[in-house]
Structure 1
């Protein structure tokens, strides 16, 4: 009987729906959830003593070895399949030429795509952008081609036209 201080959520095992086809990702998630639920139920009983923990660890190491062997066999099978495709091709020299030509190709720019939305030259301008700014005037001579700092009249007569606050 499991201890009362460890609570395992009572979750039903999920089954693959018969009427629809699941993607690889969904099938993997389904298997993962079911394994987690099953192992959670199993671990409650295994946590009761040191002996059961040792047994669990021994079996987990065996499972890891078996999974590594399974992955190694799958990788070797993929390599054999790839080699058999290369051997089965009628002209192996053309395969090598295709590989070399793929490396020699020059990367080109992607095709130009028209941007979405309103073109920038057709956008609606705000009131501040529609009104032209008022030209700045020289405070000494009231001309618009310069300001008071660069006024030739003020520079010629600094006693007559003092600049307040700019050079203090």
Structure 2
């Protein structure tokens, strides 16, 4: 269970690539969370934000609304998948050294309970399960403020050095 937090002011934009690779992945995630660097614009559009960063773990919060409903009147699965993809990818990103990057190889999502506009704020915790030289795996869960699991996911990521 968790206490809902106020939606932060969104500082969004593009981070110059040279600046992004001057930091470790954990430093970059902390800078975005603390509004030192802009978050991707999707954060504002989806009302999702980073609320906690540690090596190998990231917590996102999300505030579903009537703006992201599917034709059946529930929150579109893409909203939940975006939240999970962000948390899992950012958890992996916290393990990156300066000059390293990654891309997702796959993500597998399981929807457990419907998310509605009335669900209220949710949190999504992504954790790295393994981190090798070239492949990292992570898993995550979305839960509501009552602690009920709404969706789960696993992901594999390909790690690569960025040429100088």
User: Shorter-chain TM-score: which interval?
Assistant: under 0.3
Q: Please tell me whether Structure 1 or Structure 2 has the larger radius of gyration of its CA atoms.
A: 1
Normalising by structure 1, report the TM-score. 0.24
More strand by share: 2
Q: Which has the higher contact order (CA 8 A, sep 6+)?
A: 2
Q: TM-score, normalised by structure 2?
A: 0.24
Structure that is richer in helix per residue: 1
